[in-house]
Structures are given as C-alpha cells and as structure tokens.
C-alpha cells in the first residue's frame, strides 16, 4: 500500500507560496472593477426590457423542457472546453498556475446573481435582446457547471502516476499525444462524474438563470426553471408537481441514454491490470455496441475527427519540456511587463471609481455585511459537516458495488438535479408551523445544493480504485476501519478534496437562494451574506451588492488559499495512485 503514498514531480507544494501575493491582489482588484462596471451598466440600463409571460399550462412543458435542455447543453459544452484548456494550462505551466488558480478561486466564489448585471446588461447593450438573454442564460448556467469540472481535471493532471509520465517520456510524445494518450484517459473517470454533477448543479440554478430581476428590470425566458419559479410564486402546487415530474423525466432519460452508457465506456480507462468481476452495465450501451449504424457513425464522426487531429497535431512525436524548464526570451519578458503595466493602469483608474462607490455605502450596511459573513460561514461549515457524514459512506458503497449503483445512481441524480428551491415553500411552511428557527431551513437548502459535489467525487474516487489494490487488501484480510485507513481514504483523498473545495464554494453561492426566498407576496430571509446579495439585487442597491459580493469573494479565496490549497498539495505529494 506504500504505492499510494509516493511523491509526484508535479506536486503543487514544491516552492509554491500559500499566502496571498500581488497576483492575488491584482486579480481581486480586476474582479472588483468588473463588478463595478456591471453595476454601472445595471444602473444606466433602460427598464423597458421585455417581460416574457410564463404559461403554467402543463401542455407547454415539452417545449419548455426542450429550451432548457438546449441551454444546459450549450453551457456544458462551453464548460467542458473551458475545463480542459484551463486545467491543462494550470497543471502544465508553473507561471500560468500562479495566475490561473487565483483567478479560478475568485470566479468560483462569485455568486451567480452577482454575474447578472455584468453578463445580462453587457450583452443586451451590444446584441438583439432575444439573443442576448439566451446567451446570458447559457453563461449563467455555465458559471454553475464549470468550476468543479475544472478542479477535477486539474487534480487529475497533478496526481498523474509516475509510470504514465515516464511512458510518455520514453515514447517521446509531444503535447498532443501526451494529452490524448495519457492525460485525458487518466482524468476521464473523474471528469465524467463531475460532468454528471455539473448537470445537476445546472438544474439547481436553472430558475435563477431563466427568471430574475435586477432593480426594476425583469428578465424571463421560457423553460422548466422559469416554469417552476412562476408556479412557486403563484402558489400553484399542481404546476410545481408537473414541473418537477418533467424535470425528473428529463434526468432519468439522460441517465439511461447518456450518462450510464458513458460510465460503462469510461471503465476502459481505469488504472488496473486485472479486469473487474462486476463492471457497470447499460442496456443502451449494449444496444449501441450491436448496432452497425451506430458503429458506422462512430467511425465517420468520432474516429474520423480524432484521426484528423492526430495527423494535424501529432506529427512530431517529441517530448517537450515543461515551460518552467525553458528560460523566457527577453522579448517575452518585455511583452509580459508591458501587458501587466497596461492592465494595472486600467484597473487602477477604474478602481478609483470603485472605491468611490464603496465609500458611498453606509456604515450600517457594512455592519450588516460583517454580521452576514459570520452567519453564512457558520451555515456553510454546518452544511459541509453534515454532507461529509453521509456522502462518504454512501459514495463508497455506490462506487464499490456496481449492481447497487445501477439502482441508486439514477435516484441520486434525480435528487441532485431537482431544484430544492422548488420545494422550499413547503419546507418553509413546515418550519413556520412548527416554530422551527429559519436558520434550519437555510442550512437545509444550502445542504441540498452542495452535498452532491462531495458525493459524486467520492463515487468517482471509489470507482477509480484499481481491482489489484482491492484484491490485495482482501488477501491481507483488511476489514472495517483498517481497510478504510489503508485503502479507501488514501485513494479517495484527491477526489475528496476536489469535492470539498467545490462544495465549499457552492455552499457560499447557494446562500443567495437559501437565505432569501420570495414566495407569493412575502419575503422570508435570515441574517447572511447571501441574503444581502439577493436583497441588493432585487432592490437595485448596487453599492451594497458590490460590497457584499467582494466580501464573499475575499472570504472564499482566503479559505481556498490557506486551507484547501494546502490539502491539494498533500494530495499531490502523498496520495498519488501509483
């Protein structure tokens, strides 16, 4: 079992500082300026943007479902491309990593509602309204899907086994052959399970992406999310049930026709030398495998595309050293210095205007921000502890028992994909009627939106454990806690950290819908940073919105840098699967 604890030459902790440096400060300032520009756009935008009427007739649900699935698909493709490119650059270049990881920490911490002024009003200013709102919805869904996939791909490249790296060097692979033959196959299992989680996260925030208000401006798009939100506002229980049933049907169809076949196919990339006795199965995968038409389409579309890329990108099979091994030319240094100077000047000028906006926020609002930060932090901690208590054992059970996974996986996906906000009015009624503190309801909703990040990563980590190691522990008669300590927890550690860091950021983001809820004609809220962001967005108080958003960004980035990043370093140094 010592093979699980060998060091990797790509460990993030060698020479990497864990404190907030100038790069972090510049990035934070850049994000703050972006928020400020969005605020200015929001305050100056005309209030005459069209308000689409959402029909609660169940007959429109198939059309609404098609619109929502289309937006989700576009956002997922964008998320997948972003994750692969961004994660690859961050993992393969030390200089890029110093900039890209802080940016990733910042972007993950920005609540989805804080993207609204920047994304929506910027697009509507340059594009036709219908196109702009559709693109805005896709971008907002993208912000709820992309971060866990990016962290997963980055983590996989950082914990790549030494044997695979040595094989790439021996065969003198260039970057393309190494990416296609080594990097992407090794990361496939974790990336696929996080893709499932990303779709679940997209469904969770679908209502916020399809129907929202910014001050006196109302934005609506036909879709399942807007249908559920309108049904909740109208207190129409039948419509809520129809919407939820439609969403469940979509999730089941996607599971059987897409995710389950992909989970069967991806097993070929497991790092093991012994075939699994009980591999996962899929009736649709078997059907496609026996189909001549599917085989022909696969050869023409997929295999043909890969071969074309191989001919174009894989001609020179020579191993290229990492960027950190090549000295920079003086022209590159000058270009970087010039670009940095221009960036600092622009950000500095806009930063002065940002400071003026923040100085206009009353001290009483800053006191509310401070109190809300502490309250939300306690709820996030509580939700994370509860999530770990049940997701780790269940995830290990699902990942290690394929027969049981065939039954439990669709149930887990349905539960993860169903927007908890649709049921929050019912939860709220139970809480109020039984004189339960509203903080309980807020923690519950926050938990429902974030626990799945941990669960799906635990399942991915358990699935990736080679059968060789499982057989070895059986031979050595490791049982109970001894098996967990020697095999399961060391194998899960990198995946668990990925799940926890995305769940932590997701919990802070979920606070915007967990701490501030509008139902009917009433607003129910608790003290919290998310409640302040939702309240400021609804009222158009852009000064408070900016202050609360920046506070959340700084808190999440600090936690990531001082806590999660150190655990990532431990995962890369001690728990690489070799």
DSSP 188-254: HHHHHHHHHHHHHHHHHTHHHHHEEEETTEEEE--SHHHHHHHHHHTT-HHHHHHHHHHHHHHHHHH
Contacts of 327 (CB under 8 A, 6+ apart): none
Q: What are phi and psi for residue 159, nearest 5 degrees? A: -110, 25
Is 100's pLDDT higher than 90?
no
pLDDT of residue 378: 93
Least confident of 202-206, 318-322, 449-453: 318-322
Is 133's pLDDT higher than 50?
yes
CB atoms within 10 A of CB 337: 10
Name the packing angle between helices 438-463 and 420-433 (round to 10°).
140
Least confident of 69-73, 196-200, 220-224, 338-342: 338-342
Is 67's pLDDT higher than 80?
yes
Structure-token pair, residue 426: 């019912």
pLDDT of residue 375: 92
Give which of 275, 84, 290, 282 is closest to 192, Cα–Cα: 84
Distance of alpha carbon 392 from alpha carbon 462, whole angstroms: 10
What is the DSSP code (8-state) at residue 576? B
Distance of alpha carbon 78 from alpha carbon 29, whole angstroms: 26
pLDDT of residue 213: 61
Distance of alpha carbon 77 from alpha carbon 330, whole angstroms: 38
Structure-token pair, residue 149: 């996939």
Is 46's pLDDT higher than 50?
no
Least confident of 60-69, 168-177, 410-419: 410-419
CB atoms within 10 A of CB 373: 19
pLDDT of residue 370: 92
Distance of alpha carbon 186 from alpha carbon 181, whole angstroms: 9
Distance (Å) of CA 407 to CA 54, 256, 285, 404: 35, 11, 17, 5
Distance of alpha carbon 463 from alpha carbon 415, whole angstroms: 21
User: Which pLDDT tens digit goes with each residue over 5-30?
Assistant: 333 333 333 334 444 555 556 555 66
User: Which pLDDT tens digit goes with each residue over 284-326?
Assistant: 888 888 777 777 777 888 888 888 888 888 765 454 444 444 5
Q: What is the mean pLDDT of residues 70-98?
A: 89
Put residue 477 in one of left, alpha, beta given phi > 0 → left and psi -120 to 50 → alpha: left
Given a contact cutoff of 8 angstroms between Cβ atoms, the answer to whether 191 and 152 are in contact is yes
Given a contact cutoff of 8 angstroms between Cβ atoms, the answer to whether 462 and 488 are in contact is yes
Give which of 394, 497, 384, 393 is closest to 152, Cα–Cα: 497
The model's confidence at residue 541, banded by pLDDT at 50, 70 and 90, is: confident
Distance of alpha carbon 130 from alpha carbon 219, whole angstroms: 11
Most confident option among 70-84, 229-243, 328-342, 445-459: 70-84
The model's confidence at residue 494, banded by pLDDT at 50, 70 and 90, is: confident
Distance of alpha carbon 395 from alpha carbon 399, whole angstroms: 6
- As a whole number, the mean pLDDT across the chain is 77
């Amino acid at each position: 079992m010592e093979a699980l604890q060998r060091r990797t030459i790509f460990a993030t902790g060698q020479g990497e500082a864990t404190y907030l440096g100038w790069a972090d400060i510049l990035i934070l300032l850049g994000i703050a300026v972006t928020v400020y520009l969005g605020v200015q756009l929001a305050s100056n935008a005309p209030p005459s943007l069209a308000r689409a009427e959402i029909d609660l007739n169940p007959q429109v649900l198939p059309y609404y479902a098609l619109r929502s699935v289309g937006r989700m698909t576009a956002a997922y493709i964008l998320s997948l491309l972003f994750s692969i490119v961004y994660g690859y650059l961050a993992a393969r270049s030390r200089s890029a990593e110093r900039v890209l990881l802080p940016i990733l920490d910042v972007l993950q911490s920005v609540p989805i509602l804080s993207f609204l002024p920047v994304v929506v009003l910027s697009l509507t200013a340059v594009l036709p309204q219908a196109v702009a709102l559709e693109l805005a919805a896709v971008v907002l869904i993208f912000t709820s899907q992309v971060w866990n996939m990016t962290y997963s791909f980055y983590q996989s490249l950082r914990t790549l086994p030494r044997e695979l790296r040595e094989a790439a060097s021996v065969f003198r692979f260039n970057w393309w052959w190494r990416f296609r033959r080594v990097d992407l196959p090794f990361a496939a299992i974790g990336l696929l399970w996080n893709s499932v989680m990303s779709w679940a996260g997209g469904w969770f925030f679908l209502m916020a992406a399809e129907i929202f208000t910014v001050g006196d401006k109302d934005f609506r798009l036909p879709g399942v999310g807007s249908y559920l939100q309108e049904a909740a506002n109208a207190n129409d229980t039948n419509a809520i049930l129809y919407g939820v049933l439609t969403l469940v049907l979509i999730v089941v169809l996607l599971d059987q026709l897409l995710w389950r076949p992909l989970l069967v196919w991806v097993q070929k990339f497991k790092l093991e030398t012994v075939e699994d006795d009980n591999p996962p199965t899929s009736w649709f995968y078997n059907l496609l495998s026996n189909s001549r038409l599917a085989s022909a389409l696969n050869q023409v579309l997929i295999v043909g595309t890969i071969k074309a890329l191989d001919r174009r990108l894989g001609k020179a099979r020579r191993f290229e050293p990492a960027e950190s091994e090549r000295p920079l030319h003086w022209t590159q240094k000058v270009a970087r210095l010039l670009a940095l100077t221009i960036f600092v000047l622009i950000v500095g000028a806009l930063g002065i205007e940002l400071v003026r906006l923040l100085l206009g926020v009353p001290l009483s609002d800053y006191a509310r921000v401070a109190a809300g930060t502490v309250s939300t932090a306690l709820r996030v901690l509580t939700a994370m502890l509860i999530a770990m208590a049940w997701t780790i054992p269940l995830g290990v059970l699902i990942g290690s028992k394929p027969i049981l996974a065939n039954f439990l996986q669709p149930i887990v996906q349905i539960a993860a994909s169903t927007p908890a906000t649709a049921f929050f009015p019912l939860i709220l009624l139970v809480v109020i009627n039984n004189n339960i503190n509203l903080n309980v309801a807020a923690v519950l909703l926050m938990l429902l939106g974030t626990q799945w990040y941990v669960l799906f990563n635990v399942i991915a980590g358990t699935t990736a454990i080679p059968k060789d190691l499982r057989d070895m522990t059986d031979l050595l008669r490791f049982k109970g806690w001894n098996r967990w300590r020697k095999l399961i927890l060391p194998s899960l550690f990198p995946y668990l950290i990925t799940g926890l860091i995305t769940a932590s950021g997701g919990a802070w983001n979920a606070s915007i819908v967990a701490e501030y809820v509008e139902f009917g004609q009433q607003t129910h809220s608790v003290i919290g940073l998310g409640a302040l962001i939702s309240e400021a967005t609804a009222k158009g108080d852009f000064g408070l919105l900016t202050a609360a958003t920046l506070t959340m960004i700084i808190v999440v980035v600090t936690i990531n840098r001082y806590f999660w990043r150190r655990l990532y370093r431990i995962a890369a140094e001690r728990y690489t699967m070799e």
